[in-house]
Structure formats: C-alpha cells, structure tokens
Amino acid sequence: MTISSDSKRSIAIMLPALDSIRNVVYSGLLERLNRSGVDVHLLIYDYNPSVPDAKNGQGFSLAKSCQPLIAPTVKHIVRGLAMLKSVLASAYGRRYGIGSYAIYRRWHDRDLSKWERLRRRGIEILGTLAQPHLIYTGLVRLFDRLYRRQNDLSSIRQQLQEVNPDLLCSTYYVMEPYERGYIDCAKDLGIPVINEIMSFDNLTSKTNHMVYDYYLVWNQGMQDQLLRFYPQVKPNQISITGTPQFDFHLRQDCNWKRDETLERLGLPPGAKYFLYAAGSASLTPAEPALVTRLAERMQANDLLHGYWLVVRLHPRDDWSRWEPVRSVSNRLVLSKPWGAESGVVYPAMADQARLTSSLAHAKACINIASTVSLDAAILDRPVIGIRFDQEPDAPREILYEEFDTDHYRPLVESGGLRLAYTWEDLFILMIEAIKNPERDKEERLHMVSKECGMVDGKAAERVACALLGYLEKVHL
C-alpha cells in the first residue's frame, strides 16, 4: 500500500527504549513507511541530536524529524495516586486470574518491613473489593484524573500539536513516565493511538489500564488475551503481525560466519561455547554468584572443561555487577548487548547481529526464564532453564519461580526447553546438547509457532501494512 502524494499522511512513533529503536528503525519498518509516502516523526528517549546519524545506526535519516520524548513535569505530588495504582494492579490480576501477579508480588515484597506488609495487606483487600467491573473502571478513570492533576502535560501537548500526526504509535505496553502522557494528550487532541505490544509477557506481567484505538499483537493467543482483559476492545481493532524483533534471525546481514562470531566475541579460533543469557538485577540479584559457580564447575568437569561460557548481559541491567565474574575463569567472557561495536548512545545493527550469531553458533542457550529462549529456539539451538529452587549449592536470591508465570509456563509445557533442577541435571542437559542437538527439535518448532507468531522475516512488512491501513481508516 502506498499513500498518494496529494493525501500525505504522517505518523509519530514513540521510541522509549532501545528495543523500540530495533523494531522500528533497524527492522526496515521506518524505511517501508518512508517508501510508502508517509512522514514519520520519531520521538526518542534520551535523543541526542549532536550524535551523527551514521553513528546512531543506519536509518534515522529517513524520518521526517527526530525529536526528544518528553517526560511530564510533576506539578505537585497527589497523595494516594501511587496506592491507587497498586490497588488497580491487584484488581487486574485478580479479575482475570493472572498467576504472574502473585508470583511477582511475593518476590518484590520479600524484604518489606512489618508496617509495609500491613500496608500491602490493605492494598490486596482493596484490590479484591475493586474487582467488579463498575468499581474497577471507575477507579481507572479516577487514576487518569489524578495523573493529569499531578503532571503538567503542556510541553507534550505542544509538541504533538506542532508535529500534528494523523496517528500516534506506542511501541511499548506503556513505559512510564514517557508514553502515558503522550497517549493522554493524543486523546485530548483527537489523534488515534495504536499500541504495538512489545513482548509476550506484557499483558500478564504489566498492568496498563489504558485502552487504545488499535493494536498490533504477535499471535492469536495474544489477541485472545487482549480481548479477555479489555472487553471494550473489538477484534477489528487488532492486527496479528508477529514481531519485527525475530526478523533479524532470518537476515543474512545478521548472521555472521562462525569464525567471525568467535573473533567478535573475543574467543580463539575453533572455540566451542555455551551462551548464558543473563537476567536483570531486579529479578536475579544473585545471578553473578550462580554463573561463578557454573564456570568453576564446568572447569572441573571432564566433559565440559574445554568449553567456553559466553555470558550475554541483559540490556536493562547494571553491567558493573558482572565485572567480578570476569576473573573467575579463563574460559568465560562477558558479551554486552550493545556498545561493544558502536560505542555510542544507540545500538548498531552489529549489536543485533551479535545476538543472532552468538546464539546460532552456541552449543545451547542457558538462562533463567529469559525471552532469549525464544530467540534460541528460532535458531534451533537447545534451550536449558536453570531452576535451582531446591538445589542446596545455589544462591537463593533469584526468582526461579518465574518459570511458573502465565507467559513462561507454556514454554516449559511445550517441551521446547528443558529445566535443570540440580547441578547434575544441568550438566547432563549440557552434555546432551553437545551429543544430540536435534533432540527436542520438533518441540522447539512448536513452541516458536505458538508463542512467536509468524517467523518468516516479514513481520516488519506486516506492521507497516497494518499502520498504512489504519492511516487510511482514520481518514475515511
């Protein structure tokens, strides 16, 4: 679909995180919209106009404009707003029987004081009472009013008025403080908003409360969840597109040869390695200690001591916490998700190729309930999950229970990944991955098909077509 020159359309796309830049700029989505005659305005978190486009990564120059994503100014703190948000989160989880809510709540509440626990108990009681539809929707409206009372959105409103887009696109499932203010202002200005749901856990692990005009989802299951959690939404407001983040795995420019991959990872020629996909400090504070023990035990194992361990750090983690791990083993390397190639604010295409290639040439992907399990399965690599709840020689400050969450449990049940409950289990699975990498191949294919939607390298094209279709619809 192409927009004719006499009916020029424009769209503003919010990029509140580096994941968003990947999915919009590097995936080819921006280029496709540009070729179709659409003016695209990028609203970018931490935008630095002084950094040359070539260093930012290819593609930014195709935008009609690049502007900073503005955080709202707090006029004054509205008492009770934070508590209301917590009550709504509790009510949301209870209304729809979302098990993830209780799992994450127990984890984040584990160090509360006696007074804080009493307050939390009160929130859960209020959350139970707030489940009925009329009460719940009334509290959602109250939250929006209080949010607007607390925050000055005038700068955001002025920016949107100047850009004057036909459509505003949210590329996250509302990342506060950034996207919410824009969505509120867009509603005030009569600008339709489309939400591209970023990840397979968003609908069950995050509470949004905002209803959009249109949605882009990965698969049918995500659409079914969306319709159940937000009964105001109708099927004709949703497009199933897959997600551009998996397009890269099928692109030749994102798949380095083995020798090049080893060189870029800092490994010697011919090295064989396992890729460990690390989590973030908020859910796995003791993970560096776990990886330290893994590296030490690998060195002491007759069948594994010759293998390297590549630890891919989480994009939103504090990377400094991993520095002590470097000295644990001479066969362990840390791999940063970006910056290693570009050294600038935004990731480069080489950083995406680093992920794809690191997985493609690994003996297996080891992790604790990471989304990277899906990336590995797409590339047909064995996936091993560490669940050491009962392993005595393992750190406790890790949310192993995340394997039971609503979004991750189907992956475990699919058989597309294997769980290790002890060190012995883990090494058996690692050795099996070396000897028989084809085991669970069909299960991995099924897991990818069910959870990732269409993985054919054309998700960015489908997203572009959906956006063009919605642009046409808003002008009918």
pLDDT digits (tens, 9 = 90+) for 343-359: 445 777 888 999 999 99
Q: What does the pLDDT read at residue 181?
A: 94
Segment holding 43, helix H or strand E: strand 38-44
pLDDT digits (tens, 9 = 90+) for 389-422: 999 999 999 999 999 999 999 999 999 999 999 9
Q: pLDDT-based confidence at 1, cuts 50/70/90?
A: low
Model pTM score: 0.93
For residue 284, what is the DSSP state?
-
**Mean pLDDT across the chain:** 92
For residue 267, what is the DSSP state?
P
98 DSSP β-pair partners: none
Closest CA relative to residue 30, chosen from 65, 70, 72? 65
pLDDT digits (tens, 9 = 90+) for 20-53: 989 999 999 999 999 999 999 999 988 877 654 4
Q: pLDDT-based confidence at 5, cuts 50/70/90?
A: very low
Closest CA relative to residue 99, chosen from 363, 407, 383, 437? 407
What structural domains and CATH numbers belong to the chain?
A: 5-72+153-243+457-473 (3.40.50.2000), 81-139 (no CATH), 256-451 (3.40.50.2000)
Share above pLDDT 90 across residues of the chain, in percent, rounded to a whole number: 86
